[in-house]
Amino acid sequence: MVTALTAIRKARQMTQAELAEHAGLSRMTVQRLESNGLDPRLSTLQEMARVLEQELVTIPRHLHGSFHEWLAAQTAHGKTHP
pLDDT digit string, tens, across residues 9-33: 999 999 999 999 999 999 999 999 9
Q: Identify the residue with better confidence: 74 or 6.
A: 6
Q: How far apart are CA 71 and CA 79, in angstroms?
A: 9
- For the chain, which domains are there? 2-56 (1.10.260.40)
Q: How many CB atoms lie within 10 A of CB 31?
A: 14
**Can you tell me the mean pLDDT for 60-72?**
92
pLDDT per position as a tens digit, 28-44: 999 999 999 889 999 99
Give the mean model confidence (pLDDT) for residues 60-65.
93
